[in-house]
Amino acid sequence: MGPRYAYLLRLTLLVGDCFMVNMAFLISNLFLPLLGNTVSGNQPLIFLFIFNATWLFSAFLMKLYSYSTLQKVENIFRQTIKTSLLHFGIFISIVAFSGDVVMQHYLKFLAVTGSILIFFFTISRFIVTYVSDFFLKSIGLKKRITIIGYNDTGIKLAEFFSQKRGDYSFHGFFDDENSGGYVVNSDGRIEGQIEQCVDYAVKNQIDEIYSTIMPGHEDSMRGLVEVADQRCVRLKFVANTDETILDQYHLNYVGDFPVITLRKEPLDDIGNRIKKRIFDIAFSFVVTLLLLSWLIPIIGLLIKLDSKGPVFFRQNRAGRNNRVFGIWKFRTMRVTESDTEFKQAQKNDPRVTRVGKFLRKSNLDEVPQFLNVLFGDMSITGPRPHPIKLNETYMDSISSYMARHFVKPGITGWAQVNGYRGETEAPHLMQKRIEHDIWYVENWSLMLDIRIIFLTIINIFKGEEKAY
């Protein structure tokens, strides 16, 4: 199992095991008093803490959650048994120093708890194995890959991807120098020439293109980098270690292959995405519970009293990997536009209602997007999602415009807190916004997200010139 899925499995096992250990402890303590076996005072709470601590310590010593253990299901079962035996041994040793009465109680407790945990662990391991296999085969978590260049490096790379079927799904080669200008892949399907690879990637939802031909080495590669960025396709270069690696590129490894990426993407790592998602859900849940629960009815009433029309406004926007989703906002205008009729709001825009002016000035019109965050379409922070029409206007004229879609869009973003929000009446303003968005993509951290949230709150109270 590859690192992407090993991380998910590691997290699932850790959380699930801790839950089962605690459930076994609580069930035993509820069952034993029925047999007349009780302990007094706060001893159960103290021993609950000890029971958890000794489990985590035993799991650490036995490397139950290490990536080497998670490579095979057999390893997980083997280390689970070893961890359980060590856990019970340490716990008994601690209980032995607590007196005969306590010792007698917890020997019975361990007999009951051990039986429960054997049942829990057996069931959980089968469930984890099944779910992991289901996600890999059915849900499509595997990265879909194509390779540019039918050469020795390309063939070896294809073999590597074929061996790592848990992480990758290989979809063939693209090359210009072979007979007929195409290559037949391992499934017998004909792909095409290098210039066709980006179109193929978009139509077939290819996640990454790996090129064994470096930029500038072939005429067909010139401009391919820019086209890939414009179409929101990740293009990576497999480095020839005999050549000099340019400073502006980033070197990573896929197996033993040195791979050059055009930009650093912290959120391409599944561990970072999980951290960001947990933060998004926790933050949005608190906001929804403490703010939206009473604010939405009040704002909805004001909107209804001020003008005719719905309370909410929904419009299609482009999200991560350019996938379209419906964004929710409070209606602030007298008219609602379709995706093809979009026109940016301007200063003193006659379409904006009286309540709408206040909502836009205070950013409260964006509050319903916390629901988009909970649904998984957006993040708290990230590049602001542009209307489809605006994307079509700028994607061909601004370099790397679509690279901002490599991450989820946000309610607020690095560009917005730096003054690049609202109307972009001049192309250079949109260019600066895109530069800030791409900087965020390349430099993401959880602390940067928190910093952006603080800056957003400060700007709300301070007021923003372009909030109209």
Query: What pLDDT does residue 134 have?
Result: 65
Q: Are 401 and 432 in contact (CB under 8 A)?
A: no
State residue 429's pLDDT score.
83
User: In this predicted model, which residue has the larger pLDDT, 419 or 137?
Assistant: 419
User: CB burial class (10 A; 0-12, 13-18, 19+) of residue 33?
Assistant: exposed
DSSP-assigned beta bridge partners for residue 328:
314
pLDDT at 338: 56
Q: What is the dihedral of CA 386, 200, 220, 318, to 10 degrees?
A: 0
Residue pair 165/144 in contact (Cβ under 8 Å)? The answer is: no
Q: What letters, b where the CB count within 10 A reaches 16 and e where it falls short, cover 111-136?
A: ebbbebbeebbeebbeebeeebeebb
**What confidence tier does 351 reach under pLDDT thresholds 50, 70, 90?**
confident
Residue written as token pair 């946000």: 410
Q: How far apart are CA 139 and CA 197, in angstroms?
A: 24
How far, in whole angstroms, is CA 408 from its chain's centroid? Answer: 8
Between CA 20 and CA 15 the distance in angstroms is 9
Instruction: Give residue 183's pLDDT.
Output: 47
Q: Read off the tokens for 320.
A: 């991560």
Q: H-type helices in 326-368, by residue range?
A: 354-362
pLDDT at 55: 92
pLDDT of residue 468: 46
Report the pLDDT value the prediction gives residue 198, as an integer from 0 to 100: 87
Q: Using 50, 70 and 90 to split pLDDT, how confident is the model at 264?
A: confident
Q: Pick the range with the lowest mean pLDDT from 104-108, 224-228, 264-268, 355-359.
A: 104-108
Q: How far apart are CA 20 and CA 123, in angstroms?
A: 11
| 2 or 109, higher pLDDT | 109
d(CA 307, CA 371) in angstroms, rounded, equals: 24
DSSP 8-class letter at 385: P
- Domain covering 143-262 in this structure, CATH number: 3.40.50.720
- Residue 75, token pair as written in the block: 């390893």
- Contact at 8 Å (CB) between 171 and 144? yes
Q: Which DSSP helix (H) or strand (E) runs through 110? A: helix 100-134
> Mean pLDDT: which of 78-87, 184-193, 264-273 is highest?
78-87
pLDDT tens digits along 203-215: 888 888 998 887 7
Between residues 157 and 463, the one the model is more confident about: 157
pLDDT of amino acid 42: 62
Q: State the CB neighbour count (10 A cutoff) for residue 49.
A: 10
- Cα separation values, 192 from 150, 160, 181, 184, 365, Å: 11, 21, 7, 9, 47
Which of 94-98, 130-134, 444-448, 456-460 has the lowest average pLDDT? 130-134
Q: How far apart are CA 435 and CA 264, in angstroms?
A: 14
pLDDT digits (tens, 9 = 90+) for 425-443: 677 888 889 989 998 998 8
**Per-residue pLDDT at 64 exceeds 80:** yes
pLDDT at 278 over 80: yes
Share of the chain above pLDDT 90, in %: 12
| Model confidence at 280: pLDDT above 90 | yes
Average pLDDT of 442-450?
A: 88
**Rounded distance between C-alpha atoms, residue 452 and residue 413, angstroms:** 7
Mean pLDDT of the residues in the chain: 79
pLDDT tops 90 at residue 365: no
Tens of pLDDT along 155-195? 888 877 776 666 778 888 888 765 444 444 544 345 677 88
| pLDDT value at residue 173 | 87
**pTM score over 0.75:** no
Q: What average pLDDT does the segment 96-118 reach?
A: 75
**Highest averaged pLDDT of the listed ranges 283-287, 305-309, 394-398:** 283-287
CA neighbor of 45 nearest in space, from 57, 56, 33, 29: 29
Which residue shows structure tokens 């021993």? 47
Domains of the chain by residue range:
3-139, 143-262, 270-462
Q: Judge whether 339 and 384 are in contact, CB under 8 Å.
A: no
pLDDT at 379: 94
pLDDT in tens, 393-412: 888 788 788 888 889 999 99
**What is the average pLDDT across 444-454?**
88
- Report whether pLDDT(67) > 80: no
Looking at the predicted structure, is the pLDDT value of residue 276 above 90? yes
Q: How much is the average pLDDT of 314-343?
A: 78
The confidence score (pLDDT) of residue 382 equals: 93
